[in-house]
Amino acid sequence: MPATTNLSPSNIELATNPDSLDSHQEPVQVHLADSGVIPKIDVYFLSDSTGSMGSIIAAVRARVEEILNKLVAAANQVNADVHFGVGNYRDLDFPTAERFQNQVPLSPSPQAAADGIRAWSVAGGTTTAEGQFYALDQLAQPPGGSIGWRAEAKRIIVWVGDAPGHDPISQAVSGFAYDITEHSVTAKLQDQGIFVLVISTPSGSSGPGLNVDPVPLSNGTPYEGRGPIGGTANQGSRVAVATGGTYRDGITPDTVVDTIIDLGTAGITTIGNVSLAPNAAIAPFVRISPAGGYGPFTPGTHPATLDFQLDFPAAKTVSGAPVTREVAVEGVVDAVVDGVRAGSTAVKIIVPDLAGTYKIQCTLSGLYLQLDDPGWTGDGGNVDQNVYRGLAAEQWELIPIAGGGYRIKNLDPARDRYLEVVGMSREENAEVLTRSDPSGQHKEWLLIPAGSSDSRGPVFRIQNLHSGKVLDVRGCSMEPDAKAVQFHYWGDYPTYHEEHNQHWRLERI
């Protein structure tokens, strides 16, 4: 059972509001279980095993039973089920199998972990800088893989090393289909919610420490002519901070075991952070306070309830059903406790009745949808974007259709004309025109919420009911007179952007 028992409220339903910038504020409480901590905890021991680590590894091997016994006792103190794993890494001039060895995948056996640590042995390398980013890249995998991370478990890496890492590790060196960098590794660790407890041992042997500048230490046979040599100082502390872990430097053979016990115990028994995180569907609509959440809390000090506030810009409570078919965005705001999603509040954002007259603005260009030739009396009028001048040809009436979408009627007085996809086409880049005949689903449009700005109100995508494609400015143009077309919606890939050629803002007239 995750550490949160529930969130209240468990459901939030709101309507987007194009007529007001006022935020809807919703207090949310996270109720923590008595123990506070996540009841599943995975701890993976990772060590540099090149030649300079000899005395450090010898010290850890000599007291490995004490380390594991104390971490198991810490887990028992908070009723946590702890699994242990063991691995080691070397430089990239070693054979592939030795660059990172996943010796003991995570398991409930402290004895297996002890045997794995006792099997650590050292061997030299051609450069001082090492291959830890290669190892961390392999460790930053989802649950269920070869490392053995469990779903709904707090995931911790206890990393011991004495030299900085090569950055980047190019494809030519790694053999992978991508470059490995500090940035890419950190992003993967964050994505998987893995905490890294970093123990730098510069005075244990000949190693300079994890935080020194890697560039002067990164030349050598594996790298010459096979990619750039880069990176900057303070790699170890940056990885620790970015993952919510801890960095300790200056650790010697005399202090390394106590440091592992200290950091491991704290990692198991401490709540590092409790925060709220919206999923991708809801994130564009909500602001969360406090943004960084709460914590850390030492054992016995966490409150039973934590108070958050959700602000939904340009939103209001739901009042009455819309005339058209219901259009809604649904998602969740999760409670995240030490990287584990441990409870949620469901959020639904609907579109209220939007009948009325509007200017329709492309959020990318800032230009407005208009009839290309105001005053033209023929049928099949072209539609493009342009500077708003106050003409009727730049104004549109949304006319709801019961059980369907909206007809979008141009207000130019020359004749009645409705927005349509030419020829009922389902093709990409088919033109969007106006015609006098209002009938047909290719003249019906759904307004689907895409996000909400703090200063300018809600954003919509305008989707054709017949083709399923959305209103688009051809070629992402920023220029006046660029044509309106339909295209598949790609505005939420890879991340939401308010300013987008498929996102539109309604300004009521």
Q: What is the pLDDT along the chain (509 residues), one digit of tens a residue?
A: 344 447 899 999 999 999 999 999 999 999 987 766 788 999 999 999 999 999 999 999 999 999 999 999 999 988 899 999 999 999 988 999 999 999 999 999 999 999 999 999 999 877 889 999 999 999 999 999 999 999 999 999 999 999 999 999 999 999 999 999 999 999 999 999 999 999 999 854 557 899 999 999 887 767 777 888 899 999 999 999 999 999 999 999 999 999 999 999 999 998 889 999 999 999 999 999 999 999 888 777 888 899 999 999 999 999 888 889 999 999 999 999 998 888 899 999 999 999 999 999 999 999 999 999 988 888 889 999 999 999 999 999 999 999 899 999 999 999 999 999 999 999 999 999 999 999 999 999 999 999 999 899 999 999 999 999 999 999 999 999 999 999 999 988 778 899 999 999 999 99
pLDDT, position 302: 81
- The candidate with the shortest Cα–Cα distance to 91, out of 42, 129, 142, 56, is 129
CB atoms within 10 A of CB 20: 12
Judge whether 45 and 21 are in contact, CB under 8 Å.
no
pLDDT, position 304: 86
Angle at 383 between CA 378 and CA 385, to 5 degrees: 145
Rounded to whole angstroms, the Cα distance separating 326 from 350 reads: 7
Tokens of 99: 């660059």
Tokens of 417: 């004309």
Query: What's the half-sphere exposure (Cβ side, CA atoms, 13 Å) at 119?
Result: 16
Domains and CATH numbers, the chain: 4-33+273-350 (2.60.40), 40-269 (3.40.50.410), 356-508 (2.80.10.50)
- Which H/E stretch holds residue 143? none
pLDDT, position 206: 56
Rounded to whole angstroms, the Cα distance separating 252 from 78 reads: 30
Name the one residue in this structure whose structure tokens are 């890494």: 89
Rg (CA), the chain: 29
pLDDT, position 221: 67
Name the one residue in this structure whose structure tokens are 């199998």: 97
Judge whether 85 and 146 are in contact, CB under 8 Å.
no
Please tell me the pTM assigned to this model: 0.83
Name the one residue in this structure whose structure tokens are 């949304």: 398
pLDDT, position 367: 98
Cα-Cα end-to-end distance for the chain: 52
Judge whether 107 and 85 are in contact, CB under 8 Å.
yes
Strand order in 4-8's β-sheet? 4-8, 24-32, 305-312, 287-289
Query: For residue 456, what are the β-bridge partners?
Result: none
Name the one residue in this structure whose structure tokens are 């209001």: 316
3-state secondary structure 368-393: EEEECCCCCCCCCEEEEEECCCCCHH
pLDDT, position 2: 41
pLDDT, position 36: 64
Give Cα separations from 87 to 21, 113, 141, 153, 213 (angstroms).
53, 10, 14, 19, 25
3-state secondary structure 61-92: HHCHHHHHHHHHHHHHHCCCEEEEEEEEECCC
DSSP 206-269: S---TTS-SGGG--STTTTTSS--B--S-HHHHHHHHTT-EEE-S--TTTHHHHHHHHHHHHHH
